[in-house]
Amino acid sequence: MQPIGRVELDCRKVHIVSKAQGVANPSRSAAAAVLKAVRTRHVYANLQLPHVLTRMKDPRQASFTTDLVYGALRWQGFLDALLEQVSHRAVSAIDPDVLDLARLGAYQILFMSVPSYAAVSSSVSLARATKGTRSSAGFLNAVLRKIATRDRQTWEVILTSQIPHSQPLHRLAIRYSHPIWIVRQLASSWMYARGVTDVRNSITPVSRILAADNEPAEVTLTVRPGLMTVQQLSDQVTRIFPHAHISRGRWSPYAVRVKSVTPEKLPAIQQGKAGVEDEGSQIAALVTGMAPLTCTETRWLDLCAGPGGKTALLGSLARSRKIKLWANEVNATRAKLVAENVRALRHAGFDPIEKITVEDGRGYADRHHMRGQFSRVLVDVPCSGLGALRRRPEARWMKSEQELGSLSRIQHDLLVSALDCVAPGGVVAYVTCSPALAETRHVVDAVLSHYPHVIRVNAVGVAEKLLGSKARSFGLSAQGDIQMFADQTQTDMMFVSLLRKY
């Protein structure tokens, strides 16, 4: 690392760097704009980024901007702790627009291959060029220069050493940049899944989960069986994206993991013969379709279907068995996505999609006079999404622990509704994209305590029929529920509990 003092003296070098950075400045200003939109309008970065990236002709600029945005959001907690350390003030006392620039600059210094002097110079230049932050250019310059005197690992040691060893989860929260309440939720989930009672024995595995949570999620495609094969999809990816990296799924037999691919440009995606779907979600749908029944196979129901990825995979399985599927989604926009996802199934001989409804899933059976009329019901309930923070790193800073309580009540009612819909001998798959016990085990346990005619089915055992012994890595609890952890599965952290009514 170049000494800070030499940057100040070597004016010619700084001038040249500033001119060179003029090419990259649009990337940094675009990143700052996205951070501000996330902060002030509470939009997700993956929805805001495409608007700024379409104006960039150089793919390197787009890549730099994407890395900068997601990195600064992912490591916001760590960066804020560091900024408080070097500025001797709370981040709440720093102007929000300046704080965005400080986070972006610090991320470049500590996490990217950007030279420190370039990160400092470009950040200060951006502050001076932006209305509202010009007067803070000096503060930004001083703070970033101080950060540049040490590397990330050294700052990590400094920050965590200030937290007592008696608070190991707090140390993990800083080190891996997660709110402490999320770290506690992950620790509780892992401890329950493994039958561990001493939190000290969870530190290493939880640190691995948090580290995996900070890795960008792979793009995973899924074929709709009966419409296309994995080999056909792989061949199409290779033909259209010659430099793509392709690998078979780790878990789902219908999955293809890809890099350097724009999925929406694939004809298979455009035609609905394949989709973009995390393998965790694929397994949830497959387990729903494979669970053994003790009743006659009738129609199936996806009670909370939006946006329709699981519906399409479930519909493919239903189509192969000549079974009709109903899909319901409370949100009209997401219901349209469901219809879009299943459109190819409706033009391939037997149409498995009998009905798509747009309504609250609670009380569904009585409104449609369908109590006990479905042999399989998938209820992928609305949840906190703590299992998919790899995809939306900003969500960890937007959510609060209080949300879990209100969500659990909705989840409870939807599971009850699903049980009303299922026939005796049929199965309900209760699914969440969250490892939080309040949204998983506690919901299922509460419902079972009031429904003595409902029992758990070993979901891991069902998964083993599909995957073999490797399904045992799904963080199973004593009850046999599936709980995926990102470090072991490289998927979203899906929870699946199978229930049978008798």
Q: What is the pLDDT of residue 24?
A: 41
pLDDT, tens only, 54-76: 888 888 899 999 999 999 999 99
Nearest by Cα to 273 from 322, 237, 323: 237
CB-CB contact of 78 with 171 (8 Å): no
Whether pLDDT at 443 is above 70: yes
The model carries a pTM of: 0.92
Residue 11 pLDDT > 50: no
How far apart, in Å, are the Cα atoms of 312 and each of 3, 302, 410? Answer: 57, 10, 25
pLDDT at res. 437:
97
Quickly state the pLDDT bin for 4 (edges 50, 70, 90). very low
Which pLDDT does position 9 carry in this prediction? 27
**The pLDDT value given to residue 474:** 82
Per-residue tokens: 416: 């009850």
Q: Is the pLDDT of residue 453 over 50?
A: yes
pLDDT of residue 41: 94
Query: Which pLDDT score is estimated for 16?
Result: 29
Task: With beta carbons less than 8 A apart as the criterion, state whether 419 and 447 touch.
Answer: yes
What are residue 375's phi and psi, to 5 degrees?
-85, -25
CATH numbers and ranges of domains, the chain = 4-153 (1.10.940.10), 163-213 (no CATH), 219-276 (3.30.70.1170), 279-501 (3.40.50.150)
Q: Answer whether 137's CB lies under 8 Å from 102's CB.
A: no
Catalytic residue among 304, 383, 421, 433: 433
Contacts of 286 (CB under 8 A, 6+ apart): 252, 313, 317, 466
pLDDT score of 455: 96
Position 478 confidence tier, pLDDT thresholds 50, 70, 90: low
Q: Across 187-298, where does the E strand assignment appear? A: 219-223, 245-248, 255-259, 274-276
Give me the pLDDT at residue 237, please.
98
Distance CA 380, CA 239 (A): 35
Give whole-number Cα distances, 399 to 213, 240, 273, 386, 486, in Å. Answer: 16, 39, 35, 9, 20
Sequence-distant (≥ 6) Cβ neighbours of residue 290 within 8 angstroms: 462, 465, 466
pLDDT reported for residue 222: 98
pLDDT of 301 > 90? The answer is yes
Q: Distance between CA 209 and CA 389 in Å, rounded?
A: 11
Q: How far is CA 1 from the centre of its chain?
A: 35
Integer angstrom CA distances of residue 175 from 111, 155, 170, 183, 418: 14, 10, 9, 11, 41
The pLDDT assigned to 477 comes to: 65
Helix (H, G, I), strand (E, B) or coil at 41: helix
Query: For residue 476, what pLDDT band results from cuts at 50, 70 and 90?
Result: low
State the average pLDDT over residues 337-359. Answer: 95
Q: How far apart are CA 22 and CA 43, in angstroms?
A: 28
pLDDT for 378 beyond 80? yes
- Look at residue 181 in the predicted model and tell me its pLDDT: 98
Q: By the 8 A CB rule, do 435 and 495 touch?
A: yes
**Rounded Cα gap, residues 335 and 339, in angstroms:** 6
Cα–Cα distance for residue pair 149/142, rounded to 1 Å: 11
Q: Where are the alpha helices (DSSP H) in 42-75?
A: 45-53, 59-74
**328 pLDDT exceeds 60?**
yes
Is 11 annotated in the active site?
no
- Cα dist. 187→389, 433, 485 in Å? 16, 16, 11
pLDDT in tens, 275-293: 999 999 999 999 999 999 9
Supply φ then ψ for residue 354, to 5 degrees: -85, -35
Residue 497 bridge partners (DSSP): 430
Residue 282 main-chain phi, psi, to 5 deg: -60, -45
